[in-house]
Chains A and B, each alone.
Chain A
């Protein structure tokens, strides 16, 4: 026990921060793919599919991420499936993110004005053509600011992976604190690193909102 904060500790924290970023990317990618499917299901012409996906979203949004982590890390082994901390954390985040992004993106699809859907229908485009060529490009513009904004939530929520023994930024801070016992200093450093990761994203999201989406920026640049 004892000693003072040195370069090795900072290296360890940096390593933890990298895993925070890595886990966030896993959550964004996995949750993005699953969330896209959820969003499509939520606006499906089939009532059953709509109801099932709405139920999924309600269920996940009504469950704390911490509980999802416990379920995958401690619950699955009880059923005979062993999972590593990374797998448990990645899967839990994917499930969590899919419900939220699915719902955000459903809103974006639906905020493409109804006449746009009708005009595409009137031109005899098939459902998938309408989706891919008319609705999706417009929905992506609408979806970009809230999606970037939600990435902040993903980054902050990866800290919950520390409870299943995954060594990301928060957990590496805990470990260092266990040996140095300088909680105020160490958790301040942790907070600053989280802030440094999240703040630029918040700013970026805000800027996108003001500019009306990334496509507008490209247009102005052209």
Chain B
């Protein structure tokens, strides 16, 4: 391994080094290292149980790690004295099950965190809510409740809710896995637009075609290890037999 000296602005947004994590006797992360630079889109792929979702959740400290180090936007995530709320203001996370708050309208969902965490005035927050909803193509759903929206619309609203906090990096945890192919498309388009706008993103995905089209870098995880990594080309010409088999069965 060789180290490249970087200036401060060029230091990675997300950096994992030799991260180990077990759930009881089960080793889920076995020395995982990767970096994500500013503006980069990283796709985390692998079979179910390969540790990719756990790795993603560790970045936002939804899981604590046993050893190794994670640094995200300058926050040492592995530090027990970490300011969790500061970390989470810099990191946006979108889940497979959308997790909009059902008792609030879409607008209320979006302005909740900016108003209560960043202490932005309601008027300003509402203007911003309109902007982020326009970004995901849902400006007309401002006053609807989540249950009145389709799955794809709910997921886009959830992305808008994250964007309203102006995160420096977005994490996507299998955000299209609960959607049928038609609705998947509309969500992927939104993510594509975000990537084009220069958002730094880490996404766990099963959409190989999408990963190929959007990812600057692909990390293939296998049995808790980074098994193969490279540009999106590794998906078409994999080196290791495991990745070959994985993308082979994915077709």
Contacts and interface: CB of A to CB of B under 8 A. Distances in A.
Interface of A: 115-116, 118-126, 129, 133-134, 137-138, 141, 215, 219
Interface in B52-90: 60, 62, 85-86, 88-89
B88 A137 contact: no
24 contacts: A115-B97, A116-B99, A116-B101, A118-B95, A118-B99, A119-B95, A119-B100, A119-B101, A119-B158, A122-B91, A122-B95, A122-B162, A124-B85, A124-B86, A125-B112, A125-B113, A125-B116, A126-B117, A129-B116, A133-B116, A134-B101, A141-B103, A215-B103, A219-B145
A119 B112 contact: no
B226 to A, nearest CB: 24
Interface string B87-126: 0110111010101111100000000110011000000000
Q: Please name the 10 residue pairs, one residue from A and one from B, whose CB atoms are nearest each other, closest first.
A: A119-B99, A124-B88, A123-B113, A122-B93, A115-B99, A137-B103, A124-B85, A124-B89, A124-B117, A129-B116
Contacts of B89: 124
Interface of B: 60, 62, 85-86, 88-89, 91-93, 95, 97, 99-103, 112-113, 116-117, 145, 158, 161-162, 165
A133 B97 contact: no
A45 to B, nearest CB: 12
Nearest to A128: B116
A118 B99 CA distance: 9
Contact of A115 (B86, B95, B112, B145): B95
Contacts of A125: 112-113, 116-117
Given A115-B95, A115-B97, A126 B85 contact: yes
B112 A133 contact: yes
A123 B112 contact: yes
Nearest to A126: B85
A118 B98 CA distance: 11
A145 to B, nearest CB: 17
A37 to B, nearest CB: 23
B114 to A, nearest CB: 9
A134 B158 CA distance: 15
A188 B94 CA distance: 61
A165 B214 CA distance: 78
A51 B207 CA distance: 46
B112 A124 contact: no
A181 to B, nearest CB: 57
B91 to A, nearest CB: 8
Nearest to B92: A122
Given A115-B95, A133-B112, A121 B103 contact: no
Contacts of A133: 112, 116
Given A122-B93, A124-B89, 6 more contacts: A116-B101, A118-B99, A119-B158, A121-B88, A123-B117, A133-B116
Nearest to A136: B103
A137 to B, nearest CB: 5
Contacts of B86: 124
Contacts of A141: 103
A125 B93 CA distance: 13
Contacts of B88: 121-124
B101 A124 contact: no
Contacts of A123: 88, 112-113, 117, 161-162, 165
B112 A122 contact: no
A133 B85 CA distance: 16
A170 B88 CA distance: 58
B116 A122 contact: no
A122 B85 contact: no
Given A115-B95, A115-B97, A138-B102, A122 B117 contact: no
Query: Which one of A119, A120, A121 has the greatest number of beta carbons of chain B within 10 Å?
Result: A119
Nearest to A119: B99
A184 to B, nearest CB: 51
Given A118-B62, A129-B116, A133-B112, A124 B102 contact: no
Nearest to A137: B103
A29 B131 CA distance: 45
